[in-house]
Amino acid sequence: MASNSEYLLNEGSDITNDYHCDTCKEENININAMHYCATCSKYCCKKCLKKHTKGFKKHKVYDRKDMKYWPIVKRKVDESNHCKKHKDEELKDEKLTMYCEDHRELLCYKCHLYNHKKCSNVVAIDEKVKALYENGELTQLLETLDKLHGQLTQKKTDFEIRMESLEKSHDTFLAEIDILHNETTAALNQLKKNTKLKFDKLLENRKFCVNGDIGKCAEVINKIQGLQNECLDFEEKPHITTLILYDELCDQNSHTREILDELSTKSEVALEFHPDKSIEQTLSALSGLGDVFENVKQAPIVKGTGQDVETIRERRLSGDQVAGSSYRPYQSDQPIFVNTSNQESMNENETGNVKKSDHVLVVDSGKMKFGVRKNDRNVCTISGICEAATGEILIIDEGNRKVKLLTQHFEFMAQYELQYKPTSICMIDSETVAVLVLECKVYLIRVLNGQLVLHGKHELKHPCRGSARHQGTIYITSGDKLYRYTEDWTKVDTLFTPLSGAVTSCAVSPDGDRIYMVNPSTYELITLSGDGKLINILTVSRLWCEVATSNLHVTDSGRVLVCGYRSHIIFQVDRDGRAILAEVVTVKDGVQNPTSVYFRNRTGSLIVGMHLKEHILVFQETSSRNEKT
């Protein structure tokens, strides 16, 4: 019995548990059951379970961790009216006659006298029970418990459904990973195929050229050998024949020298393969095929029966300041004018990136400065920023007519000087940028071994102000129009013509469904659909500049960031360009006349370039709201 003391019932309790070991109960021993056999419908303690398992190994047994599989039993209330704490000298229990409402305890005379004399709400048991029946409190409690029971049962069902959904998501998750893996493998195979085709084409061209040279050599060699054979017995030939051979030998010598001179000037050409290092660097920088995160849906507020159930809800970012951050909801002191004509309704079935596009970007209040002036005659005006696949930062300095290359840590690496002031920059492949100048030219500049090298140049038939690229399509603004080009710089069509003013900077959403343009002369942000239809025109004063090219940027998750030159603010605008969501950074954060902005997704950094400043500003996104999530 002593060994089973941990299973004995507490005799001082008013409520006893009916989960007793059936085998021990037959011997008049009350021991808590720790297991239930669903096959033979019996309860067992640990000791009896060992005997049961030996005889019935295939029976289904559940322990107390799986009590949901145990049958529901009634609980017995100890109806004794004697106090178990106080006994008189004749070992008779004192009767329970009172009830303390302050402590919710049944009392005998001695309990009241010794322990509850100071309690102000002690009543007779009969009076308390009578009051419970008269005021209906007992009935109300039962009804409340019944409703709570129903809510809890429904909640249990909901959690079981969630469990099934989680189990199903495993297969779906693996299927999505396999699809992405197959797509990535297919893309790499296509790159391999393209590279082999390029090699085969070059190889055929070189073989054709070399075969032509071999043919020339063979033809001359055959002629020389023929003349040599004819001259073996020239002493016996007539003089006329000898003179003819003499002339042919002279001609052949001259022709052979010409062929040798021609072939000697040809350089030896060897085919070499230079791997694209950005592929390996990009893949090695990744930690997986994608991010795995919990998509939390906030539970609805549940109102309890008789009492309100308090719920702790997350403070909405739009209404509360984030500690240690520079986030501010937008509060304009000037009116915002929205042109709603020809608006295109937004598709309700938005993608995940579209949903994230209106999440406010929040950065820490601290900032870092990095110098970008290197052997420059003028103070810098950084009017464009982009990032290579390997992580290097490329900026255009409008004030010094230069393209500059920075390391991943914003250290100066190299620069390339242009003939004209650059107006825009955008990546067109993993290591090549297109740099636009107003004088109808596009320079293709490549990052090669830490240097900037001119890779090509294109002449267009219109001025070049702003540029953006999306999936093989390049968008260019000329001031009076928005053009669309292919990657080989063949113009496709004209997408948009403003009614007034001149469109400069432009940007495209990650899904290609939204195009954004700045019209500085009319203080407008113009939003178009992917096919060029007008969605909205947002007019806010003091946003744009007149002395430099002011820029805008769309992050990888679709957040729209706009430079407010005169207000010294980087604004975030909603996906359709209908409203300003927030002031991401302002003059209080050190921003003065911003002309360019860029968000580095891999590090969660916001980069701001400014007019007539020798440095750029870098802010770190608040970790709790990082875009990678």
pLDDT digits (tens, 9 = 90+) for 272-326: 888 877 777 777 767 777 766 666 555 554 444 444 333 322 332 233 444 445 5
Residue in 297, 288, 360, 364 with CA at minimum distance from that of residue 579: 360
Q: Residue 85: which domain range?
A: 80-135
Return all residues near 143 (Cβ < 8 A) that are at least 6 apart. Answer: 305
Round to whole Å and give the CA distance between 97 and 79. 13
- The token pair that represents 378 in the structure block: 């003028």
- The token pair that represents 223 in the structure block: 């002629």
Q: Does residue 316 lie in a domain region?
A: no
117 and 59 in one domain? no
Q: How many CA atoms lie within 13 A of 361 on its CB side?
A: 34
Q: Please tell me the total count of domains within the chain.
A: 4
pLDDT at 346 over 50: no
106 and 153 in one domain? no
> Residue 84: which H helix or E strand, with range?
strand 82-87
pLDDT band at 356 (very low <50, low <70, confident <90, very high): low
Domain boundary (285, 316, 336) is at 285
Query: Any idea what DSSP says for residue 426?
Result: E
487 and 396 in one domain? yes
- Tokens 């050190």 -> residue: 590
Cα separations in angstroms, 575 against 114, 245, 528, 565:
73, 88, 11, 21
Q: Does residue 306 lie in a domain region?
A: no
CA dihedral for 341, 346, 347, 348, sign (positive or negative): negative
Residue in 626, 600, 628, 627 with CA at minimum distance from that of residue 618: 600
Domain boundary (259, 285, 311) is at 285
Q: Does residue 608 lie in a domain region?
A: yes
pLDDT digits (tens, 9 = 90+) for 378-434: 999 999 999 998 899 999 999 999 999 999 999 999 999 999 999 999 999 888 999
Query: What beta strand segments (E) does 348-392 contain?
Result: 363-371, 382-387
Question: Where residue 129 sits, what CATH number does that domain have?
Answer: 3.30.160
- Tokens 């810098």 -> residue: 380
Mean of pLDDT values over 5-12: 36
152 and 56 in one domain? no
Cα separations in angstroms, 128 against 104, 105, 137:
11, 12, 11
Model pTM greater than 0.75? no
pLDDT at 615 over 90: yes
207 and 179 in one domain? yes
**Per-residue model confidence (pLDDT) at position 293:** 62
Nearest-5° Cα angle at 362, 357 to 366: 150
Mean of pLDDT values over 370-378: 94
* Strand 61-63 relative to strand 35-37, pairing: antiparallel
Instruction: Please tell me the least confidently modeled range out of 139-148, 278-287, 454-463, 608-617.
Output: 278-287
Going across the sheet that includes 560-564, the strands are 328-329, 580-585, 569-573, 560-564, 552-554
Q: Does residue 154 lie in a domain region?
A: yes
Q: Does residue 320 lie in a domain region?
A: no
Cα separations in angstroms, 469 against 49, 169, 426, 508:
72, 35, 7, 7
Question: Where residue 548 sits, what CATH number does that domain have?
Answer: 2.120.10.30
107 and 67 in one domain? no
Instruction: Please tell me the least confidently modeled range out of 241-245, 324-328, 477-481, 545-549.
Output: 324-328
pLDDT digits (tens, 9 = 90+) for 492-518: 899 999 888 889 999 999 999 999 999
471 and 444 in one domain? yes
97 and 66 in one domain? no
Domain boundary (61, 76, 91) is at 76
- The token pair that represents 31 in the structure block: 């021991």
Q: Does residue 291 lie in a domain region?
A: no
pLDDT band at 474 (very low <50, low <70, confident <90, very high): very high
Round to whole Å and give the CA distance between 614 and 379. 6
Q: Does residue 579 lie in a domain region?
A: yes
Round to whole Å and give the CA distance between 571 and 564. 7
Instruction: Please tell me the least confidently modeled range out of 181-185, 190-194, 343-347, 423-427.
Output: 343-347
**Per-residue model confidence (pLDDT) at position 551:** 87
28 SS3 class: coil
* Strand 534-539 relative to strand 524-529, pairing: antiparallel
**Per-residue model confidence (pLDDT) at position 546:** 58
Average pLDDT of the chain to the nearest whole number: 81
185 and 122 in one domain? no
**Per-residue model confidence (pLDDT) at position 19:** 80
Q: What is the CA radius of gyration of the chain?
A: 43
443 and 579 in one domain? yes
- The token pair that represents 475 in the structure block: 């968008």
246 and 125 in one domain? no
Dihedral, 89, 95, 99, 103 alpha carbons, nearest 10: 40
Q: How many CA atoms lie within 13 A of 29 on its CB side?
A: 17
Which phi and psi angles does 594 have, rounded to 5°?
A: -65, 135
**Per-residue model confidence (pLDDT) at position 297:** 59
Q: Is residue 412 within 8 Å of 616, Cβ to Cβ? A: no
DSSP string, 187-210: HHHHHHHHHHHHHHHHHHHHHHHH
**Per-residue model confidence (pLDDT) at position 626:** 42
Percent of the chain, pLDDT > 70?
Answer: 81
184 and 112 in one domain? no
Q: Does residue 198 lie in a domain region?
A: yes
